[in-house]
Amino acid sequence: MERIRVAVAGAGGRMGREVVKMVLQDDTLELTAAIASSTGPVDAASLVGLPSCGVTVTNDFTAALVNSKPDVLVDFTTPNTVMEHTTLAIQHGVRPVVGTTGFTPEQIEELQAICKEKELGGLIAPNFSIGAILMMRFAQQAAKYFPDLEIIEYHGDQKLDAPSGTAVKTAELVAQVRAEHKQGNPNEEEKIEGARGGYYNGFRIHSVRLPGIFAQQEVIFGGNGQTLRIRHDSYERAGYMPGVNVAIKKVMQLDQLIYGFEHILDQE
Ligand code: NAP
């Protein structure tokens, strides 16, 4: 069976290195190019402590695409560069698998239009964690039967935004199926401001920020005489790789650009 040829942009970054490692360790994938802006022309395998693979890291994105003829481009770079990378990839008939965040809805529509015209598969996914996506799905299912809930999310203390994007997305999914009502005692009084967390559609979201934590979330449902807890724990970036691996294989069968990894799971 022919291996899927993969180029990785952002190969020197935290996510990009994990992708290089995952590709090199999967016999059905072949690393054809590794693009990084500041590692210098080293062997890509040296970035992840593996034996030499014969692919020299380059900072010339277009030359890498044209010369190495990949089937798929995996991009974990920066919001400034990802639009240009993805457009160039599609123009060269290379299927994009993009984890870089920061696209505007208009940019996604534009890229979807070019892919449609070329009947080219691709995926842009703000979250490749299969566990996190299932946790959100299960929470949405549970909210139909347990309309009283609270979300607690835990991240490292350097995270800038609160609540996390995953918590907001979970809240939106829950709100789609739960009749809006304000939970708790109507006369409740906060003795310390913020003690009850952020308010969303009648329920609360709490953001814990501590050193040592990577990314975790718990959705607690309370009903008559019972509680249900749905929890997902991420410990390191490697946790995103099974999702990226599935995506690389899936886009080979697609003829359109999909936004959101959950839609890939629907097709499994
Ligand atoms: P990071 O460690 O800062 O890596 C970004 C890398 O991109 C850096 O090594 C940077 O190289 C490189 N880069 C920037 N411009 C480039 C260019 N023109 N050509 C080649 N490489 C270029 O960040 P990260 O933690 O890996 O995250 C990367 C992106 O993935 C972010 O947008 C983040 O939000 C997103 N992310 C997504 C998921 C998901 O599940 N979808 C999960 C985690 C993170 P230099 O340092 O040399 O400039």
To test ligand 1's pocket by mutation, which of 38, 60, 78, 81 has the most ligand atoms within 8 angstroms of CB? 78
Task: Show Cβ contacts of residue 118 under 8 Å, excluding neighbours closer than 6 positions.
Answer: 90, 93
* 195-207 residue pLDDT tens: 999 999 999 999 9
In this prediction, residue 165 carries a pLDDT of 86
What Rg value do the Cα atoms of the chain yield, rounded? 21
* Tokens linked to 193: 């401001």
**CATH T-level assignment (fold) for domain 4-124+237-266:** Rossmann fold (3.40.50)
Rounded to whole angstroms, the Cα distance separating 168 from 17 reads 28
- pLDDT one digit per residue (tens) for the chain, 268 residues: 899 999 999 999 999 999 999 999 999 999 999 999 999 999 999 999 999 999 999 999 999 999 999 999 999 999 899 999 999 999 999 999 999 988 899 999 999 999 999 999 999 998 999 999 999 999 999 999 999 999 999 999 998 889 998 999 999 999 999 988 999 999 999 999 999 999 999 999 999 999 999 999 999 999 999 999 999 999 999 999 999 999 999 999 999 999 999 999 877 6
> What residue owns the CA closest to ligand 1's atom 32?
100
Run of H or E including 57: none
Phi-psi region of 4 (alpha: psi -120 to 50; beta: other; left: phi over 0): beta
What's the CATH code, domain 130-234? 3.30.360.10
Q: Is the beta carbon of 15 within 6 A of some atom in ligand 1?
A: yes
Residue keyed to tokens 């009283």: 148
- Answering whether pTM is above 0.85, one says yes
Burial-class residue 157 by CB neighbours within 10 Å (0-12, 13-18, 19+): exposed
* Tokens linked to 236: 């390191």
Q: At how many degrees (to 10) do helices 79-91 and 105-118 cross?
A: 10
Edge to edge, the sheet with strand 149-155 lists 198-200, 203-209, 149-155, 215-223, 226-234
To test ligand 1's pocket by mutation, which of 15, 35, 261, 265 has the most ligand atoms within 8 angstroms of CB? 15
To the query of whether residue 144 is one of the catalytic residues in this protein, the response is no
> What residue owns the CA closest to ligand 1's atom 34?
101
Q: What is the DSSP string of 134-164?
A: HHHHHHHHHHTT---EEEEEEE-TT--SSS-
Q: Which residues pair with 43 in a beta bridge?
A: 56
Q: Are 261 and 125 within 8 A, CB to CB?
A: yes
Percent helix, percent strand, percent coil in the chain, to nearest 5: 35, 25, 40
Q: Are 58 and 64 within 8 A, CB to CB?
A: yes
> What residue owns the CA closest to ligand 1's atom 14?
77
To the query of whether residue 249 is one of the catalytic residues in this protein, the response is no
The residue ranges of every structural domain in the chain are: 4-124+237-266, 130-234
